[in-house]
Structure 1
Amino acid sequence: MSLRGNLASLGRRFSLYLIVLHALLFGLAVLLLRERPLFFLGAEALILASLVLGIGLSRRALEPLGYTARFRDLLQEQNYAARLLPGSGSELQELAALFNSLLSSLHQERLKLGEQQGFLDRLLEATPSAVIVLDFDGKISLMNACAQSLLALDAAPGKPLRAWLTGEARCLGEAGSAAQARSLALLAALDALPAGESRLFSDPDGRRYRGQRGQFFDRGFARHFLLIDELTEELENSERATYEKLVRVLGHEVNNTVAATGSVLDSLLYYRSQLTERDGEDFGTAINAVKRRNARLGEFIERFTRIVKMPAPELRPASLQAIAEDILWLYREPCRSRGIALGWEVCEEIAALPLDSQLLEQALLNIVKNAMEAVEESMRDSGQASGYVRLALRREGGGARLSIADSGGRLGLVPPGQLFAPFFSTKKEGQGIGLLFVREVLTRHGFPYRLAVAPDGATRFDIWLPAAA
């Protein structure tokens, strides 16, 4: 029964009690009717007045409880903007003023909390960090737009992170796709993250992230939240600045040393005629060997210096198909002689794009050359007689995607974070320049890219191109 019902029942019981009590007194007063009629009339008048006064006082006594009941109803309805009307007495007016003051304070606190919640909601949606808030049971209760875009989880609220790892829930997108593999890799790293710790981890595409698990208290109990920040661009810029400084210092010192050493070696050759014929020949051979090594050292550092001093792209409309066709014609005969099939898998017509054709051609040459060498090495190791390098140009969304796939399959043992790292190479005599140059060219053009293992096991380099203006 509600509080209002209890108060009404209490009022009825109290009124019934007064009526029964005064009825008994009235019955006793009737005994005086014959002996003292005037006294009887006076007693009956007093009893009637007492009944009326008792009922009135009981109503006044119960009226504050009625205010309390109305105040309780307003609290249950969370209707803090309503106000209680003051009663006729000073006590009721004071009580109503007290309740109204409490309602006003609650209303102001509610407005303040609403404004703060609105600000936090807008802040979560605007922040570039992915934010996931968990409930008391470790299930997702809130994800901002960045987290949903990064992880692409289907119907995430109410599910723990491990639901996707055990197959109880699925990620959005095609099964086995790169986006799904990235989501599962990030979820596994986040689920294993201890409370209060921050760690760096990578996805299968080599993009790097910082994950942090923190906690806050809600109604006295701890709840966890996760923050994920992508650091790929920040770390690449830091790496670029570091190796630019390193290469500039090395280039300055090496070039000075190479120039001085070359001059000294040329001067030493004048003394060859002063030696015997046999000694002079050995002397000249040794000096020329040192000169060649000296020149190769200069060329080595010059290749790194060209990356550091790479000019800004001069963007002009150019046909990507024509650039790729030139590269195919250039490498067609070397590939044929090695048993490597080189050509288009599919080539859809796309409009001319604003790009620096010379820089992009050099980047594509590096990619195709790396693919050829990977296929050749794979054929040599496995004893196979053939392999392939295939180019595909497809429209995708509002732009296009250029893919260069090869059957080499040499990326399986390479950590994703090292693919584009400066000075890192999987080749025995590699210098880590090719992919570094490719990354710089694509980054300066603003073309997203990915080097990863395709579902069929091939190595595939994808470049996403914007729509033609």
Structure 2
Amino acid sequence: MKTEYRLRSYLLFLHGVLLLGTVSLYQQQPLLMLALELLLAASFWLCWRLCRQSLQPLRYTECFQQLLSEQSYNHRLHANSDPQLQSLVQCYNDLLARLQQERLRIGEQQGLLDQLLEASPVAVLVFDFDDRLSLLNASARQLLGLADPLNRPLCDWIDGDATFFPQFSPIEQQRVRSLLPQLQQLLPQQSTLCSDSEGRRFRCQCSQFIDRGFSRRFLLIEELTAELHSSEKSTFDKLVRVIAHEVNNTVAVTGSVLQSVCNYQKQLQADDQQDFAVAIAAVQKRNHSLGQFIDRCSQVVKMPAAEPQPTDLVVLLSDVMYLCRDNAQSRGVQLQWQLPADPVWLLLDPALFSQAILNIVKNALEAAETGLQLQPTRPAKVLLSLVPQPQGWQLSVTDSGDLLRDVEGGQLFTPFFTTKKGGQGIGLVFVREVLQRHGLPYRLASTDDQQSCFEIWFSSLKSS
């Protein structure tokens, strides 16, 4: 210690000068010189001891400062028998003990928080003071697929050169890029529903917390697609059951009355009989169409539970395509399919799944025919392909209609929503229900080459 060194140097210098002063008395008064030298020796010993005792608290303070700088809170200081020093050392030790307990408590809380964040199904994004990403949990990494996201703002992935995980396809990257601008625009304490290009819907909430006196924001992203689909299906089921009960009773009575009214046609004048017959036929046709519409709605509501069994997907798809071949020729659409030569055995309900594929192909044929009417110079075609993937198979039905480019992805599987003239908006609801009962991921969207594609992925775990 510099203070101790200077003080002891001063004592040595002072007593050395006094000692030299007493040497001058050696010849005149030797006894006085001897007494003075003894007195100086006693003074030097006493001052040295007092200096050591007075600087003892400073030594403990330096040790305490070193422990604080090294964050060695588990060490303790030991004092001598001096009561005052013992009180000071006890105060330092109590402070070290409190710091150690606080560090353990914060460490345990941080560990619990980290585990909660990693296990949470809600995606969490935390930003620093400059609005750059500082933390993403596992759900956020899986949802967004941002590569090397730390210390980078979200705008780097919106309009910059930031990259995604290698396993993220260009379509998945496009989906994330459609969601990020909505996240970027969220203000603190704001909550809203967002959707991506595939129609997946999320509840996004922006909040903030105080860090070192300044606010930092974080985002919570919770996917609601399955929950909203379940709510929509429950509402759709209740609505259809109520309407079906009333409409079926009305259609049955109306059909019977119309059939009875036809018996009065011969009682009319000859000039009126033709008009009467045409009017009754139109009403009967409309009555029959209404009954068919209710039947199609009831098929979705009363769909039986899926009964998966080993099914050769290649044979099932081939049967559907041969069934649709004449329909495609009548519409002027070229129907093609590419299937593996070997069987592909999967656990499927053949009745439900073949009906779902039939609806998908039928929609594709109608879209290709509409596209041909809009662009006569462009060939109308539908292609069904089944290709292997690293973890299963991918089924794609692509049509040249390109009628979904301006349609929001979340509307496609909404009951009663349709892009076809005279459509009822029931077919895709049926398809969605079948695929969800099989636990198969799917996607319907426009492609970059001005086509529409319905994709279904079969995991290897679904194989028999």
TM-score by length of 2: 0.95
The alpha-carbon deviation at position 98 of structure 1 amounts to 1.2
Specify every segment of 5 or more residues in structure 1 that has no aligned partner in the other structure, as ranges: 1-7
1:87-126 equivalences in 2 (<5 Å): 87-126=80-119
2:193 equivalent in structure 1: 200
CA distance in 2, matches of 1:385, 1:166: 33
Query: Which one of the candidate residues 123, 131, 139 is aligned to 1:130?
Result: 123
The alpha-carbon deviation at position 331 of structure 1 amounts to 1.9
User: Structure 1's 446 and 175: CA in aligned 2 closer, same or farther, altered over 3 A?
Assistant: closer
1:3 equivalent in structure 2: none
Q: RMSD across aligned C-alpha pairs, in angstroms?
A: 1.9
Q: In the alignment, is residue 307 of structure 1 matched against residue 300 of structure 2?
A: yes
CA distance in 2, matches of 1:153, 1:122: 21
Q: In the alignment, is residue 142 of structure 1 matched against residue 123 of structure 2?
A: no
The alpha-carbon deviation at position 174 of structure 1 amounts to 7.1
1:420 equivalent in structure 2: 413
Q: In the alignment, is residue 400 of structure 1 matched against residue 393 of structure 2?
A: yes
Letter of the 1:335 partner, please give it: A
CA distance in 2, matches of 1:259, 1:149: 53
CA distance in 2, matches of 1:427, 1:402: 24
CA contact (8 A) 2:80 2:86 kept: yes
Q: In the alignment, is residue 85 of structure 1 matched against residue 78 of structure 2?
A: yes
CA distance in 2, matches of 1:348, 1:34: 128
Deviations 1:143-165 (A, max 9, x none): 11111111111111111111122
The alpha-carbon deviation at position 209 of structure 1 amounts to 1.3
CA distance in 1, matches of 2:369, 2:264: 47
CA distance in 1, matches of 2:313, 2:38: 114
Structure 1 counterpart SS, 2:335: strand
1:429 equivalent in structure 2: 422
Deviations 1:315-363 (A, max 9, x none): 1211111111112111223323444221223536353212111111111
User: Structure 1's 305 and 245: CA in aligned 2 closer, same or farther, altered over 3 A?
Assistant: same
CA distance in 2, matches of 1:168, 1:286: 66
Structure 2 counterpart SS, 1:347: coil
1:61 equivalent in structure 2: 54
The alpha-carbon deviation at position 458 of structure 1 amounts to 1.8
CA distance in 1, matches of 2:453, 2:363: 11
Specify every segment of 5 or more residues in structure 2 that has no aligned partner in the other structure, as ranges: none
Q: In the alignment, is residue 320 of structure 1 matched against residue 310 of structure 2?
A: no
Deviations 1:116-161 (A, max 9, x none): 0000010001000111111111111111111111111111111111
1:48 equivalent in structure 2: 41
CA contact (8 A) 1:403 1:460 kept: yes
2:219 equivalent in structure 1: 226
User: Structure 1's 451 and 158: CA in aligned 2 closer, same or farther, altered over 3 A?
Assistant: same
User: Structure 1's 339 and 273: CA in aligned 2 closer, same or farther, altered over 3 A?
Assistant: closer
Letter of the 2:316 partner, please give it: I
2:322 equivalent in structure 1: 329
The alpha-carbon deviation at position 307 of structure 1 amounts to 0.7
CA distance in 1, matches of 2:433, 2:168: 32
2:235 equivalent in structure 1: 242
CA contact (8 A) 2:314 2:339 kept: no
The alpha-carbon deviation at position 261 of structure 1 amounts to 2.5
1:5 equivalent in structure 2: none
Q: How many residues align?
A: 462
The alpha-carbon deviation at position 85 of structure 1 amounts to 1.8
Structure 2 counterpart SS, 1:376: helix
User: Structure 1's 386 and 338: CA in aligned 2 closer, same or farther, altered over 3 A?
Assistant: farther
Query: Which one of the candidate residues 11, 16, 20 is aligned to 2:4?
Result: 11
User: Structure 1's 393 and 114: CA in aligned 2 closer, same or farther, altered over 3 A?
Assistant: same
1:17-36 equivalences in 2 (<5 Å): 17-36=10-29
CA contact (8 A) 2:145 2:168 kept: no
2:384 equivalent in structure 1: 391
User: Structure 1's 173 and 410: CA in aligned 2 closer, same or farther, altered over 3 A?
Assistant: farther
